[in-house]
Amino acid sequence: MNREEVRRNVIRSTVSGYVRLVVRMGLGLVTFRLLYQGLTREQFGFWSLLWAIFGYGILLDFGFGYAAQKRVAELMVRQDWEALSRVLSTIFFFYAGAALVAVVAGVLGSDFLIGLFKVSEASRASFRLVLVVFLVGIGLAFPMGIFPEVLQGQQRIMAANNLQVVSTVANFICVGMVVWFRLGFLVLVVLSLLCMLIPYAWAAVLALRAMPGVRLRPGLFSRRALFDTGRFSVFAYANTLSNVLRNKTDQPVIGSVLGVAAVAPFQAGSKVGEMFGQLTRQIADVLSPTAAHLHARGDREALRDMLIDGMRFSVLAATPLYILMAAYLEGLIRVLTGVREPGPEMVLAGQLLLFWYYSLVLTHWVFKRMFMMAGQERRMMWQGVGEAALNLALSIVLTIALHSIVGVALGSVIPTCILGWTVLWGWAAKEAGLGRWALFRRVVLPAWIGCLPMIALAAAFRLQPWWASGATTWRVLGEGALVGGAGLVGLWFSAFTPDDRARVMTKLGGRFTAATRGQTA
């Protein structure tokens, strides 16, 4: 692909990612509330821990997911099907073996895990069965998870997004059936696993059809291919491990220190931050395989321009959303959970984690995702490992010291802010060919200047004496629409460049013209 084709593919993929998120977030809101109110607090806490364990399953990835994405992007440029067959066969069957070992270990250690999370005596037997079924399902899904990565390496992120939409809709229907007909906790787990497995299988079909010369066979497993791919994947794995320790240790730390029941209020407070994170990482996810493609071509200028534009548009998208969610966090928690009055701990933890996700947007996501694929994997590894170790240590110490879920949130915020601004920001500025302050003026400052009108309007709503701002769902929606609208207007006139506005208007005009022609044809 040439530069213009790369740019168009990035835009299409980003748009499809946001369409996927609209579906996922809309149905996810309802699904979360159904589960929060349809399960007991212990069941909901255990459900959250199960998916935290699934997050730890990525540790068995050993970095080969990133490696597959990178190698597919590189080898498809040359159409080297023989080499690609060896690479993908090696990764797939390595995953299958690793999954088998992990499932056996998990099943044998299931009694220990149930005891570790302080499950009540009445629920031990049923929860152990649920855990075993979950581990077996994840073991089946693990090697199939390579195929969405292959689709991304093929620059077919739209196809991967469409499959995730299907998975989300199917999971929503299944959760609704389980809650409405009271089918039980075990049925819920089985149906959720099927909603993940079936789209993975279809991703395999789509990915292999686009590579007619590629074959997946045990006989193509190659120790040399494993070693060659592993030279990159060992750094990618260390980075993945650090991300898991940074992002997925909250629930286990809370469960082991405060008890499994304390996971539920933490989840309620952190859910808004998780939604924010999902909405704001789309550009970074799209740029990752594109960076591998540009790096393989040796186009450093295009890579540098994409880094600056990627960071700028990520911050433009994230800043008004952060302000809006921070201003109406309590109302959003009520909408998500049905809780009438969120507790102070829940709200404070939610604010801290929302700020943490925004900090990741500013300093981490675009730069790290791009340059992990563009020759900087070794340095990324050391930065990520250091941050993750500090995160885990602070989370444990502060949770024990404060005996509160707020300790975990603080343990995430502190190292991300310190290392993000002292290490990653200067590194990104160097790769962009700018100074630290010049990059800040280019990427961050315009977004906050453009958002000043929405900050003023949100403050006016909070301070006015006539009604309780954000006290009901309709007030959250109504006030939020006005505040968000003020933010969009401010960004349009203050943060968007004339070229940005011209491109947007051209795109909208082209779509309007096409729609009009379709109606008159």
Quote the strand ranges of 332-452, DSSP E.
Answer: none
pTM (2 d.p.): 0.67
CA distances from 496 to 141, 162, 274, 322, 448 (A): 43, 30, 27, 18, 12
Q: For 136-159, what is each residue's pLDDT tens digit?
A: 998 888 889 889 888 887 777 788
pLDDT at 448: 93
User: Which amino acid would we find at residue 72?
Assistant: V
Burial category of 217 from C-beta neighbours within 10 Å (exposed 0-12, middle 13-18, buried 19 and up): exposed
Whether the CB-CB separation of 287 and 155 falls below 8 Å is answered with: no
DSSP per residue over 71-89, as a string?
HHHHHHHHT-HHHHHHHHH
Write out the two tokens for 498: 């004339």
Query: What three-state secondary structure class fits 382?
Result: helix
pLDDT at 53: 67
Low-confidence ranges of the chain (pLDDT < 50): 511-521
pLDDT at 187: 93
* Annotated domain spans of the chain: 1-234, 249-521
Write out the two tokens for 137: 């399902």
Q: Which residue has the tokens 């049923």?
A: 126
pLDDT at 134: 92
DSSP per residue over 364-407, as a string?
THHHHHHHHTTT-HHHHHHHHHHHHHHHHHHHHHHHHHHTSHHH
Write out the two tokens for 380: 């990324």
**Separation of alpha carbons 163 and 147, rounded Å:** 11
pLDDT at 229: 62
pLDDT at 449: 92
